[in-house]
Chains A and B, each alone.
Chain A
Amino acid sequence: MPQATADLFASPCLQFKGSMVPLTTLELLYFDPEKFSQALQEKIRQAPNLFKNLPLVLSLDKFAEDINDLNFLQIRELCSAQNLQLIGVRATDPTQIAAAESAGLAVLQPSRGRQDNTEEPSQNLQKEPQQESQQEPQASPEAAPQVESPDKEVLDSAAPANGQTANRIIRTPIRSGQQVYAPGGDLIVMAPVSAGAEILADGNIHVYGPLRGRALAGVRGNTEAMVFCQSLEAELVSIAGQYKISEDLQGNHWKKPSLLKLEDDRLVIREL
């Protein structure tokens, strides 16, 4: 036996690794075997190569009928008749889980909506938020994210409705006690931010007005994030966990248009 192979055999024969694999989700609204097959055929006809042996996960988030009547085996067979591989179901209900397992399907967590995005943003996570799978656009505006504030007072989301971007634009003053968070994007405020208010973004923060409250950019660890403001009067500015409080900010740039960013892991203030 060659040496290299011997070394190889000395180590364990397998290892587990976490990885993100893009999967296509099949969203079922209601189930009718005939319509189901027809709809599949129709879709496949549009892009035969794309669908060939495509692994699928069944999502029942929007299923309108009684889920317990669903026959996963039948669905699986209908899929494989079209050369599609149904590999799993997103479910939480114990009966569904049992039914899925007995049909030989993997059970995955249902698509996480609102709660998923309400993670404590001030935590300094070092990684960018991970996408669950390619089919799920991150931070769609309606799932967007109201950060838990002390009294859950958050401005209406002004995020664009088309889901193209997670940037958030606020046009009204942000008052003391209010908290506004732009998950997965920039926060643009076209009004004053009062003392006692808190604004957060995964990306940059732009304030076209005086910034008197607390501004936290790159709250999920994006060290490239910056804070721009027309008048720096902030109580606190933080980028990816590095912060300066009002006392440290009251220098040459106080009450002037300023840009704050990280340089060599240090928060620096520049003239804008």
Chain B
Amino acid sequence: MSKIIVITSGKGGVGKTTTSASIATGLAKRGHKTVVIDFDVGLRNLDLIMNCERRVVYDFVNVINGEATLNQALIKDKHTDKLHILPASQTRDKEALTKEGVEKVLNELAETFEYIVCDSPAGIEHGALMALYYADEAIVVTNPEVSSVRDSDRILGILQSKSRRAEMGLDPVKEHLLLTRYSPERVIKGEMLSVQDVEEILAVPLLGVIPESQAVLTASNQGVPVIHDDLSDAGQAYQDAVARLLGEEREHRFLDIQKKGFFSRVFGGKA
């Protein structure tokens, strides 16, 4: 039984694509056959983060329109054995995603893959709605600041009213909160909302807290999802999040300033 997980946020630039790449990689590394789909038609980025942009021939929209088969469009990840990427089209717009077309592709993917990770575009328009419509679970990526939290709240409302599960009266979409770019130093200075603040406002179970880290930027630029970076705090935090997604109990880390360990991790991550 395959599971469809949407990575969404409402707001842009909070780390959806980074999270999609890392969560999908993490699931595959744990032995689950996983595909990650870029729903950001027209602004495709996932292929860059996954360093496969030079191998894109056909894309998601080609498959929907029947111009290519799924096997022609799927790109096998170089780093991780059980991971495939379905890139978005850069030359089309979001309207190319039809409900029927998306459903057809998801159904076909469900025959081979255990996890289907959908990287949602920002906003609450058509593209984002298509990404979340068929979801079984949702990871809501949030930065610890008020506008991001507000937008996450909005998207949570949409998940529970406009998804297929909501429309058909099935069990609701399972919600997870992933707090990214978290900086304990700035929380103490009062410049950032704390984990407790965000949890209190959104009332969604916390999947993980990804600390603000140089390693994330480095990883994006190199096209290697940060979860591969075992030495970095962000990489470890994503590994914890994947473990929790698979039902393991893990204590939340990187919530407090850890002077000694913190610097060694940053330098370790760069090495």
For the complex, count residues of A whose C-beta is within 8 A of B: 18
How would you classify the secondary structure of chain A's contact residues: helix, strand, loop or mixed? loop
Q: How far is the CA of A194 from the CA of B162 in the complex (A)?
A: 18
Q: Are B157 and A153 in contact (CB under 8 A)?
A: yes
Q: How far is the CA of A177 from the CA of B162 in the complex (A)?
A: 13
A173-B156, A195-B153, A196-B154 are known contacts. Are A154 and B161 too (CB-CB below 8 A)? Answer: yes
Q: Are A177 and B160 in contact (CB under 8 A)?
A: no
Q: Which residue of B lies closest to A191 (CB)?
A: B203
Q: How far is the CA of A174 from the CA of B158 in the complex (A)?
A: 11
Closest 4 CB pairs of A and B: A175-B157, A176-B153, A176-B154, A178-B157
Most chain B CB neighbours (cut-off 10 Å) among A173, A175, A212? A175
Q: Which residue of A lies closest to B169 (CB)?
A: A156
Query: Hey, which chain A residues are within 8 Å of B151, CB to CB?
Result: 176
| Min CB gap B175→A, angstroms | 10
B217 within 8 A of A: no
Q: How far is the CA of A192 from the CA of B162 in the complex (A)?
A: 20
Within 8 A of A (CB), among B136-155: 150-151, 153-154
> What is the size category of the interface that chain B forms with chain A?
10 to 19
Q: Are A177 and B154 in contact (CB under 8 A)?
A: yes
B201 within 8 A of A: yes
A-B CB contacts (within 8 Å), total count: 44
Identify which of B156, B166, B169 contacts A175 (C-beta below 8 A): B156
How would you classify the secondary structure of chain B's contact residues: helix, strand, loop or mixed? helix
**Using a CB–CB distance below 8 Å, which chain B residues touch chain A?**
150-151, 153-154, 156-158, 160-162, 166, 169, 172, 201, 203
Query: Hey, which chain B residues are within 8 Å of A156, CB to CB?
Result: 166, 169
Q: How far is the CA of A176 from the CA of B150 in the complex (A)?
A: 7
| Min CB gap B211→A, angstroms | 26
A155 within 8 A of B: yes
Q: Which residue of A lies closest to B146 (CB)?
A: A195
Query: Hey, which chain A residues are within 8 Å of B160, CB to CB?
Result: 155, 172, 175
Q: Are A153 and B156 in contact (CB under 8 A)?
A: no
Q: Are A173 and B203 in contact (CB under 8 A)?
A: yes
Query: Hey, which chain A residues are within 8 Å of B203, CB to CB?
Result: 173, 191-192
Identify which of A153, A154, A191, A194 contacts B153 (C-beta below 8 A): A194
Q: Which residue of A lies closest to B155 (CB)?
A: A175
Q: How far is the CA of A172 from the CA of B172 in the complex (A)?
A: 10
A173-B203, A175-B156 are known contacts. Are A195 and B161 too (CB-CB below 8 A)? Answer: no
| Min CB gap B123→A, angstroms | 13
